[in-house]
Structure 1
Amino acid sequence: STAFADPSSSGYDNDATKPVNVDYKRGYDEISNSNYQLSIKYLLKAAKTSPDNPDVYNLLGFSHRKLDKVEEAFKYYNRSLKLNPRHQGANEYIGELYLRTNNLKKAEEHLEVLDDICLFGCEEYDDLKDAIEKYKKSM
């Protein structure tokens, strides 16, 4: 998908009393402007101050995927999913990355995870399902 999901959909504890990670916000904003290299710079700083935040690693994966850095993208998505296996964005994006590497089976596994998480449907499920359907039609 060309857009990226709101990171608050991760299920990560976004307690309003916690200070906002400025580097995370800058990295997020740079993704909105398609400045993926700059977003990585800020997100790597954010990862140092918030090493247990799956949203940081999800966006690092997203930025690397947009720069066609597949191995790095997998590394960061897997880190995000290790911290939160039910992270909706990371499950969608790693599924899309598996399609890019012609691994339909793994993409479908992440669609099943999203189906389990999103009891009443969610954008991440719909986007990955659409991507899988397009992939199958192109085969």
Structure 2
Amino acid sequence: MIDLPKFSRISVVVFALLAAFALAAPQPVAAMGSSDPAAGAPKAADPDFAEGKKAIDAKDWPRAVDLFSRVVAKDEKNADAFNWLGYALRNQGDYPKAFAAYEKALGIDPRHKGAHEYIGEAYLKVNNVAKAEEHLRRLDSICTFGCAELTELKTKIAAFKAAKPS
């Protein structure tokens, strides 16, 4: 015969453990600024944002800059749009404006993983490893269990250091 009070206690413990595991399981999230510019869903229903992402996917940097400039003019609190604007500007070689866009994204959302990754990559383009590593440390504190942005920036910094003679 089953001891009902003991059985009930075990059931409660098992249920609590299952609930804890379910809450701790990773949840799918859209990558907003991972190393793959095609990753991430467009922000809201702004057609300029969606077209800007298409321009990024096509590597049409001038068009992407134009479209994301329109988005941020309409929505000054859109960290994702500032991040993509910085990405397009960086790929055009306009580092001062790219840094400004990334800083704006990080001012809006200091934990924006994509902006930390991309600004770190931009700092490598201008040979500023110390600043890239600063953003790597920030990503390390944001991504408790790791994330694609952290891995990507860490890999790029290591490759940069390996390519530079001591």
Q: TM-score over 0.5 for the alignment?
A: yes
Q: Which is bigger in relative contact order (C-alpha 8 A, separation at least 6)?
A: 1
- Asked whether the equivalents of residues 7 and 55 of structure 1 are also in contact (C-alpha less than 8 Å), the reply is no
Are residue 107 (structure 1) and residue 132 (structure 2) matched?
yes
TM-score of the aligned structures, taking structure 2 as reference length: 0.74
Q: Which runs of 4+ in 1 moved over 4 A?
A: none
Quick one: distance in 2 between partners of 1:6 and 1:71? 25
Task: Pick closer, same or farther for the CA change 1:5–1:77 going to 2, 3 Å.
Answer: farther
Quick one: distance in 2 between partners of 1:7 and 1:77? 17
Percent identity for Structure 1 against Structure 2: 36
What amino acid is aligned across from residue 63 of structure 2 in structure 1?
L
What amino acid is aligned across from residue 40 of structure 1 in structure 2?
V
Instruction: Return the match for 1:22 from 39, 44, 47.
Output: 47
TM-score of the aligned structures, taking structure 1 as reference length: 0.87
Quick one: distance in 1 between partners of 2:128 and 2:47? 36
Q: Would you say how many aligned residue pairs link Structure 1 and Structure 2?
A: 130
Which position in structure 2 is the counterpart of 1:90?
A: 115
Quick one: distance in 2 between partners of 1:136 and 1:118? 23
- Asked whether the equivalents of residues 49 and 68 of structure 2 are also in contact (C-alpha less than 8 Å), the reply is yes
- Asked whether the equivalents of residues 92 and 110 of structure 1 are also in contact (C-alpha less than 8 Å), the reply is yes
What amino acid is aligned across from residue 46 of structure 1 in structure 2?
V
- The CA deviation at 1:61 is 0.3
Question: Per-residue displacement from partner, 1:86-132 (whole Å, max 9, x unpaired)?
Answer: 10000000001111111111111100111111111111101100000
Quick one: distance in 2 between partners of 1:36 and 1:110? 24
Quick one: distance in 1 between partners of 2:120 and 2:72? 23
Quick one: distance in 2 between partners of 1:21 and 1:88? 22
Which position in structure 1 is the counterpart of 2:160?
A: 135
Quick one: distance in 2 between partners of 1:129 and 1:4? 18
Q: Secondary structure at the match of 1:115?
A: helix
* 1:1-139 equivalence runs, <5 A: 3-4=36-37, 6-7=39-40, 20-139=45-164
CA-based RMSD: 1.7
- Please tell me whether Structure 1 or Structure 2 has the larger radius of gyration of its CA atoms: 2
Runs of 5+ in structure 1 lacking a partner? 9-13
Task: Pick closer, same or farther for the CA change 1:5–1:112 going to 2, 3 Å.
Answer: farther
